[in-house]
Chains A and B, each alone.
Chain A
């Protein structure tokens, strides 16, 4: 059922347009090291490519008259145009924003940027981000509840951790998730790991399939789910709620971070 595939290995005999694959002669081949699970291709290693709609965490590295240059863990920098932003940032500010547009050379325009309060930013491999978030943020909520930290995950692989919780435990847990990202039943393992290491969390209740539970946290930012042509995550996990939960975010955002 599970098989690790090499770059260039045949995935399907027919043409299938899936990220991290290519089609040649009517057949589909892998371009990266990945895993075939239930006839789905899950990349194990990949380079993040920004797409419109991605949620990202970044660091403001430069302030220009026209906007802000943002380090996004990419070869190219992100840019927040001051034309569309009322908030002003300083160099070194940590921000959370949405990718608005990616041009043909890979420059990224960000929108809806909010300033994150002081916290820690860690970088993780982009291929592990879907597992850190989990289905409908399940994994992320477990880590949040277990550590008491506020956590924002960007699709670009930057993770912001702040709040009054157990920061060290949050970092350790994220490392645990990354190392075991390719295994199944990871949420339960993470619950055990948290409880063993001083956290206190119970396993999330399983929802009935098909019935979409109401998000337990407020959707921070805009209400509508972001449009997605195709899910880049082979696991088909819901990354649209990559942002932090309301429980912890409320008290850690300055009022002037919100846009009018």
Chain B
């Protein structure tokens, strides 16, 4: 497929302005059996996250006597996209994303409160349309809060980048594939600290700095929606707190 025209007359390929996010819908507490869970629809992405624990560390010899282990597992469903992810289970790419997600949460989750245990975070991408790692991160943060795992602050992520010379926020699939640069990033809600930063493609230092500023603004919008989802799960008569028999 030839490269489509990504930026034309101030509008992007899907009609958005450079700083506009795709429609983002977050729901907390969607799974019955998990301690905490969340479902995120971000543009064409559909991601569900479930959190279990703190629970007994398996294998036992891997347990840390000083803190809990955070185990993040990101996987893409075999039906999530056209052909690129035609097989299920962990692969090189999903192991990388699991690692960067874990490292994004390790500074905020208060792991030292639960020695010798593990906290499992499972993120499943049901449908992918560019920016799945930040969608997964957004879902996992809501699921962790829904599980009552103590966190110093929330984490919200967004992808920024450059296409046809224009700096943009929240790249979709075509923008990701044919753009000049893709920078997934995540910040914490209170301290605005960067906990995830990766870069694909080329940007000048000035462009990166401007892109990050725009990304931080976008992350704040994402955080608002995360907070709204968690509040809503208490304000509406929701199927919450199932009895485990």
Contact = CB atoms under 8 A, between A and B. Distances in A.
Partners in one complex: yes
Interface of A: 4, 6-9, 20, 22, 24, 29, 31-33, 35, 43-47, 49, 75-76, 104-106, 120, 122-125, 127-128, 171, 174-175, 178-179, 181-182
Name B's interface SS.
loop
A105 B57 CA distance: 12
23 contacts: A4-B235, A7-B150, A7-B153, A7-B154, A8-B151, A8-B154, A8-B188, A8-B189, A20-B150, A29-B152, A29-B153, A33-B146, A47-B114, A47-B147, A75-B54, A75-B56, A75-B57, A105-B65, A106-B114, A122-B243, A128-B241, A179-B240, A179-B241
A4 B28 CA distance: 14
Contacts of B189: 6, 8
A179 B241 CA distance: 6
A181 B114 contact: no
A6 B152 CA distance: 10
Given A31-B152, A182-B234, A106 B240 contact: no
A127 B108 CA distance: 21
B55 interface: yes
Tell which of A4, A33, A105 has the most Cβ of chain B within 10 Å. A33
Interface in B203-245: 226-227, 230-231, 234-235, 237-245
Interface residues of B, number: 42
A70 to B, nearest CB: 14
B116 A105 contact: yes
B241 A8 contact: no
B243 A33 contact: no
Tell which of A35, A75, A104, A124 has the most Cβ of chain B within 10 Å. A75
B34 to A, nearest CB: 12
B241 A181 contact: yes
Nearest to A20: B150
Contacts of B146: 33, 45
Contacts of A35: 234
A178 B244 CA distance: 12
A182 to B, nearest CB: 5
B172 interface: no
Contacts of A32: 145, 148-151
Contact of B152 (A20, A22, A175, A178): A22
A181 B148 CA distance: 15
A174 B237 CA distance: 16
A24 B190 CA distance: 11
Nearest to B237: A179
Contacts of B154: 6-8
A178 B116 CA distance: 30
Contact of A125 (B65, B226, B227, B241): B241
Contacts of B145: 6-7, 32-33, 45
A44 B108 CA distance: 19
Interface string B139-182: 00000011111111110000000000000000000000000000
